[in-house]
Structure 1
Amino acid sequence: MPILYECEYRGRRYAGLGLPKPGEPVLLYPVSDGQVRAAVLAGRGLQALLQSVTSGRETVTVAGDDPEIHYLPPLLPSGSGNSLITGFMGTHRSKYPAPPAPDEEFRAPNWLIKGNGSWLETNGGPLNVTASAVALLEEPEVALVFVNDESGAPHYAGYTFANDLNDIGLHLQNPWGWTPYAKLCDTSMTPWLFLGEPPRTVTGQIIIERGGAAAWKGDFTCGADSIFQRVPDMVNHLFSFPGLRRAGLVSYVLLGSDKASWHAGFRIADGDRITFDLASHGVVLSNEVRYAPVVEATASAGFTAWGSSES
């Protein structure tokens, strides 16, 4: 399956094809911000999309591990907040008492806004969470990538993978009210845009390291075959809301996750490294968890001190 990615290198934006291989150079094609998104919206097919990125341009070849390469989440706009991370909850079949009947009526799963696309981290970046977190849970998920045209119609571009890190301990204290707080953890995403239909099956392993050694391991499966609902129904229902159909918006839609380390009794700590080895697709997503200190809001000049009881 063709794979497309974008990166920044020495102040310029580039695109590349395929998965970089360890120790081998990568061939980069200069692109402008929005060029790849425009090619997706043109809708002229896969070959036209690839040609629009690679033809008629001077290329640069650099080492794949060059520290000056900064890989970007797929189609991420630069200098703009016109991108959104959202996700579904409670989608996996393991969380339901029985498999769905072929003619079962669609019932939309819970959904939430995870954050602005500029909050995304890619491979190697830190995942910041509040130091007051109760109990963290990593979640390996398929992320569908959409971009809206000028009329607001969403166009599917492809898929990638994400870690929807969240505070499941806080969520369980008040599932009906505190889940949005629990989801205010950084999200990481692979930069590789797989140019195909949403995957039926994704398999891999979660490795959590502490002090440089593996502290917990577990296998995982995700993808359409693991989900109770039908993915097209989920997507069509989501984009029935006009708020998600703003012109030019890039949407990263997370399809949900199965049980993971927390359910096995493991507790993630500050400094742990979470790695998803997505063996079925030949990619790895690895990030270190960092606890950020709680910072209180303060008043700006000309206002009574924040929190003061003075009138």
Structure 2
Amino acid sequence: MRLIQCDYQGQVRAALVESEQQVKLLDCDTYTLAKQAISAGQPLSDAITAALTDTQLDYQEIVDTKRLLPPLTHPDPAHCLVTGTGLTHLGSADTRSAMHAKAQAAEEDLTDSMRMFKLGVEGGKPNAGDIGAQPEWFYKGDGQCVVAPEADMPSPAFAQDAGEEPELAGLYVIGDDGQPWRIGYALGNEFSDHVTERFNYLWLAHSKLRACSFGPELLIGELPSHLEGTSKIQRNGETLWEKPFLTGEANMAHTLANLEYHHFKYSGFRRPGDVHVHFFGTATLSFADNIEVREGDCFEISIREFGRALRNPLRMEADTSTITVNSL
């Protein structure tokens, strides 16, 4: 079962994906639907069935008229927190072998990144009831940094790089009692500034304060443990770069439950009514292949199980005047 959100007659409404060409409208948005299901103590799938209307919409027309929205939003963007974890994926067999070989080096010779990766490999999948290794964690912003599928992905004038990161994102709503509820999963382009990050890992926090996108479809239910996707960059209608990527727990050093625990263990992330978008990491980047993107290039991320691809053209923002702080 997969949902999208769209602008329908000036209102945010969810819709059930029936085929590549057709969706069926629900009588509310995804956030309201989730809150209703939590309050009623019913599965989200049951709430969707109860909220279905008879109105069918043309999927492509929604895209063409720029009415497609992220599949989960909060009415107040300040109450949507966007975060993520890194160094979580094992990558390809060759990459994994190389990483493990490095991990056997003397501890004093390991970089901080390799130490973090090694922690995940050794303790990221704990036994039931145990707490696993703490992953790398970062903050991207609130709901204002989220770009709708098919919309332009803005890169600030001060950025040194504008690189895609094909990932899975977990989408959550916090119940009135502070209990986090996973609504489902979506494709994500976490989008970062890898040149800034490469200069010094202490600038990782800066490199992550960028726009992002997820969707267009929200996958409801259990996530397959092995997922195969494709990350692509198109320029002037032609493929500039393309590479497969693997995700899902079978291809990760951490369980999703472990990543979720280490995010929601902080009481500030269990504020009733909030929405959370949490990116789970990747091992495939065009930056690693020395690709330099430019205005108009289009990022495209796809996994068959998630329906339509996530697409966003790149837009370079114009330089702005120097930011000053006034004194009262």
Normalising to structure 2: TM-score of the pair? 0.81
For 2:67, what is the secondary structure of its paired residue?
A: strand
Identify which of 281, 289, 292 aligns with 2:314.
289
Q: Distance in 2 between matches of 1:202 and 1:297?
A: 45
Distance 2:271 2:231 in 1: 36
Residue by residue over 1:216-264, the C-alpha shift from the partner in whole angstroms, topping out at 9 and shown as x without a partner, is: 1111111211211122111112111011011101111110011321112
1:272 maps to 297
**Equivalenced residues, count:** 295
- Please say if residues 33 and 77 of structure 1, whose CA atoms lie closer than 8 Å, have aligned partners that are also in contact: no
For 2:320 and 2:224, the matched residues in 1 are separated by 41
2:161 to 135, 139, 146: 135
Moved more, 164-173 or 264-273: 264-273
Percent identity (aligned): 24
Q: Does 2:168 correspond to 1:170?
A: no
TM normalised by structure 1 equals 0.85
Matched, 1:211 2:251: no
Looking at structure 1, the residues matched to 257 and 79 of structure 2 have their Cα atoms a distance apart, in angstroms, of 24
User: Partners in 2 of 1:68 and 1:10 — Cα distance?
Assistant: 12
Superposed, 1:1-311 pairs within 5 Å as 2-18=1-17, 20-21=19-20, 24-31=21-28, 34-42=31-39, 43-54=41-52, 57=53, 59-66=54-61, 67-68=64-65, 70-94=67-91, 96-97=99-100, 99-100=121-122, 106-176=132-202, 178-297=203-322
Deviation string 1:246-301 (CA, Å, 9 cap, x unpaired) is 1101111110011321112222222211111323443301111111123235569x
Query: What residue identity is the alignment partner of 1:10?
Result: Q
Secondary structure at the counterpart of residue 296 of structure 2: coil
Larger deviation, residues 227-236 vs 196-205: 196-205
Moved more, 187-196 or 114-123: 114-123
Moved more, 208-217 or 167-176: 208-217
One-letter amino acid matched to 2:138 = L
Partner SS state of residue 136, structure 1? coil
Structure 1 residue matching 2:36: 3-state secondary structure = helix
Structure 1, unaligned runs of 5 or more: 305-311
Equivalent position SS for 2:259? helix
The whole-number CA distance in structure 2 between the counterparts of 1:256 and 1:128 is 21
User: How large is the RMSD of aligned CA atoms in angstroms?
Assistant: 2.5
What is the identity, as a one-letter code, of the residue corresponding to 2:17?
G
SS of equivalent residue, structure 1 residue 171: helix
> What secondary structure does 1:166 align onto?
coil
Give SS of 2:294's match: coil
Of 63-72 and 80-89, the range deviating more from structure 2: 63-72
Aligned CA distance change for structure 1 residues 68 and 136 (closer, same or farther; 3 Å): closer
CA distance in 2, matches of 1:124, 1:211: 16
Greater Cα shift, 197-206 or 184-193 = 197-206
DSSP 3-state at the match of 2:78: coil
SS at match of 1:4: strand
The worse-fitting range, judged by mean Cα deviation, of 138-147 and 86-95 is 86-95
* Stretch of structure 1 that moved more, 260-269 or 249-258: 260-269
Q: 1:103 Cα deviation (Å)?
A: 6.1
Q: Could you tell me how far apart the structure 2 residues matched to 1:132 and 1:47 are?
A: 44
Whole-angstrom distance in 2 between the partners of 1:63 and 1:74 = 17
For 2:255 and 2:28, locate their aligned partners in 1 and report how far apart those are by CA, in whole Å.
36
State how far apart, in whole Å, the 2-side matches of 1:220 and 1:190 are.
17
**Cα distance, 1:175 vs structure 2:** 0.5
